Amino acid sequence: MNKKVFEKINLGGIEVNNRFIRSATVVQKATIDGYVTEDLLDMYRELSEGQVGLIITGTMGIIEGADNSKLLRIHDDSYLEGLKKLVDVAHKNHSKIIPQLGHGGTLQMTKAEIQSFVEQFGEAALRSKKAGFDGVQVHAAHGFLFSKFLSPYHNRRTDEYGGSLENRTRIMLEVLDSIKTKCGTDFPVFIKINSSDFFENGNGFTFEECKEAAKIFADAGFDAIEISGGAAGGEYGPARSKIHLKEQEAYHKDYAAEIAQEVSIPVILVGGIRSIEVAEDILEETNIEAISLSRPLIREPKLIKRWVEGNTEKAKCISCNRCFNPEGASCIFNK
């Protein structure tokens, strides 16, 4: 397919320097109220010095007071000043940067609450634009709120937000509409979804539904789609362990490749990519447009630069998952 890892591309309306993305990674280094800290600026500076084409921030809270776990927040204008600094450190080193906007939450929302939520989502996106971000990503994977809306196991609503897949995708389309109305149709809006919930009993959001949902999202006007899978924890969670061999890498590849054949928007693959050869083969053999990494960039924030400069040994990350740490994600081997 003649795609190269290190070439400039237009990814869903964002000009990026290469096809490597830092996938959304919450690091819990904001203040308790969710403001940007020097620690965070240092981290994003290092990532961008490491030449990753596009950085997706960890999930940011879009409504007030949902938790206090040191996530970044973007629910009012007081956050703008710090977020502008965050954007600037990335742009200074020629990485593009978008926030991941999302919500934990449950499904028992009234229609009025859904409407207000959709509105606040749009406001958060507009704030992102004002801060200088290059677009936004809507988090609809991993068992969080939108992922629950998509899942027939969790979503037992009997109104127009539950039941058919068309109904279960509705809130995300309303969010897209809210964002595009407030930010303009050319403001890039990406979405991250599960290829499958990977429930053992086969209930939940399946790959068959994922393919249909991907088409719905592409037709509605999302600008790119990132394919992940599962919910936190468990053997088939988004961040799987025990990735030692090349064959164990890129564990959502087959799903993403199939979706990439069916939708016209760029498909991004995330999950277990550790070797540049694996990334190159994926780009060569499939229509997947970009490769997203999380844990390898916790251990080696400058991994992409290392690869650009010719040291193409695989990532040092051993996928032990000890980076999941409520005190702030970090690699135990970097201490």
Ligand X SMILES: Cc1cc2nc3c(=O)[nH]c(=O)nc-3n(C[C@H](O)[C@H](O)[C@H](O)COP(=O)(O)O)c2cc1C
Contact residues toward ligand X (CB under 6 A) are 23-26, 58-59, 100, 139, 141-142, 192, 228, 238-239, 270-272, 293-296, 323-324, 329
Q: Please spell the DSSP secondary structure of 222-258, one letter per residue.
A: -SEEEEE-SBSSSTTSSS-----SGGGS-TTHHHHHH
Residue 55 pairs in a beta bridge with 22, 97
Report the residue number, 87 or 138, with the smaller CB distance to ligand X.
138
- Say how many C-beta atoms besides its own lie within 10 A of residue 244's C-beta: 11
Report the residue number, 263 or 329, with the smaller CB distance to ligand X.
329
CB 14 within 8 A of CB 188: yes
Report the residue number, 29 or 139, with the smaller CB distance to ligand X.
139
Least distance to ligand X, CB of residue 163, Å: 26
Distance, in Å, from the CA atom of 327 to the CA atom of 159, rounded to the nearest integer, reads 40
234 φ/ψ sector (left φ>0, alpha ψ -120 to 50, else beta):
left
Least distance to ligand X, CB of residue 248, Å: 11
Report the residue number, 181 or 313, with the smaller CB distance to ligand X.
313
Least distance to ligand X, CB of residue 5, Å: 15
Report the residue number, 169 or 275, with the smaller CB distance to ligand X.
275
Least distance to ligand X, CB of residue 312, Å: 17
Distance, in Å, from the CA atom of 178 to the CA atom of 252, rounded to the nearest integer, reads 30
Closest CA to 102 of 129, 75, 83, 79: 75
Closest CA to 270 of 289, 293, 245, 288: 293
Distance, in Å, from the CA atom of 165 to the CA atom of 270, rounded to the nearest integer, reads 24
Report the residue number, 93 or 100, with the smaller CB distance to ligand X.
100
Least distance to ligand X, CB of residue 85, Å: 20
* In the block, residue with structure tokens 């609503």: 157
CB 265 within 8 A of CB 216: no
Least distance to ligand X, CB of residue 276, Å: 14
Amino acid at 277: E
Helix (H) or strand (E) holding 279: helix 276-285
Least distance to ligand X, CB of residue 126, Å: 21
Report the residue number, 180 or 299, with the smaller CB distance to ligand X.
299
Least distance to ligand X, CB of residue 26, Å: 4
Report the residue number, 114 or 141, with the smaller CB distance to ligand X.
141
> Is the Cα dihedral 157, 160, 164, 166 positive or negative?
negative
